[in-house]
Amino acid sequence: MRLSYCFTLNQLSVLLKGSGCSFLRGVGSRDVKLENHEVLSALNELSNMGILISDGEDFRLGDDARAVVEAIKNPDEYLFVRSSNSALVDLCCYYSGNLLICSYRDRYIPELVRINVTDEASLSEQLEEEGYFFVNGEGLFPDENEAEDFESNEIQLSSYEEPVAADSPLLFNAERIDPTGRIKASFKIIEMKLYSYIYYFDSSGLIRDRLTLGNARNYFGRLVKK
């Protein structure tokens, strides 16, 4: 199966609408409105890329692309990954059956959307290598009551789809979401004065823990596990 794709927003919009889906959640494709000539141009480009196959009268998706498009149209769950570091891209991932697929805007060309078929271990390794976990030595750990007050007063995030501001004390935010929008699990890295610590929540309850690389791996691994 092909594991990596790169589309312009126009190409992606045509692919999705042709498959009965209005937009791809997490990458802002819902705002794309195309003229007829742009649709025809995108169809021709997708055909040249081998994504669409023409029989002379109509187009159909190739098998690999069809599997990916069907998976991201109606996923079982979503995973949103956001960082306060503007050099790191925001990701939206889709769980569908045995597939885990991640999409993101290209870091240097925002008009391009990259879509990769991945797995839990590879995704965790990618985020660690690129610096999403903000681990720098052994973190100090705040008092639980003090941390709770700080989160209530200082962490402002109205939607898990929002970017995280560069000056936010929320350094990293990853949320596991069901199709109704309910948050099933959450992994955050929060900076509070002298402290940087892990905030983790799932059906078992809330845990605050010291920020170390081992802990970050552990909690993110729990978050992404199918």
Dihedral Cα 215, 217, 222, 226, nearest 10 deg: 180
Residue 104 belongs to domain spanning: 77-224
| Segments in 27-117 forming alpha helices (H) | 36-48, 63-73
149, 83: one domain: yes
What is the model's pLDDT at position 5?
A: 93
With vertex at residue 155, the alpha carbon angle to CA 151 and CA 157, rounded to the nearest 5 degrees, is 135
Tokens 């949103």 belong to 80
How many domains are contained in the chain?
Answer: 2
Beta bridge partners of 78: 94, 177
Query: Whose CA is closest to 129, among 188, 213, 224?
Result: 213
State how far the Cα of 83 lies from the Cα of 114, in Å rounded to an integer.
18
pLDDT at 32 over 70: no
Same domain, 112 and 124: yes
Q: What is the pLDDT of residue 60?
A: 85
Q: Are residues 17 and 121 in the same domain?
A: no
Look at residues 45, 73, 101 and tell me which one is the last residue of a structural domain: 73
Residue 113 has pLDDT above 60, yes or no: yes
Residue 36 sits in the same domain as residue 112:
no
Same domain (yes/no): 54, 123: no
Q: What is the domain-level CATH number for residue 23? A: 1.10.10
Helix (H) or strand (E) holding 177: strand 170-177
Residue 161, classed as helix, strand or coil, is coil
pLDDT of residue 37: 92
Do both 53 and 143 map to the same domain?
no
- Mean pLDDT check: name the lowest of 4-13, 55-64, 121-130, 188-197: 55-64
Q: Is residue 104 within 8 Å of 92, Cβ to Cβ?
A: yes
Residues 6+ apart with CB under 8 A from 219: 187, 198, 200, 207, 209
The residue among 203, 164, 171 whose CA lies nearest residue 186 is 203
Q: Which pLDDT belongs to residue 187? A: 96
Boundary (domain end) residue, out of 58, 73, 88: 73
Rounded to the nearest 5°, which phi and psi values hold at 104?
-165, 155
Same domain flag for 208 and 124:
yes
Burial grade of 113 (CB within 10 A; 0-12, 13-18, 19 or more): buried
pLDDT in tens, 160-174: 778 888 999 999 999
Residue 84 has pLDDT above 90, yes or no: yes
- Residues 82, 45 share a domain: no
Q: What does 90-111 look like in DSSP terms, one character per residue?
A: -EEEEEETTEEEEEEE-SS-TT
Indicate if the pLDDT at residue 1 is higher than 80.
no
CB atoms within 10 A of CB 101: 21
Calculate mean pLDDT across residues 113-121.
94
Instruction: List, in order, residues 6 or more apart from 152 with CB less than 8 Å away.
Output: none
Query: Which residues face 208 on adjacent strands?
Result: 199
86 and 65 share a domain? no
- 67 lies in the same domain as 82: no
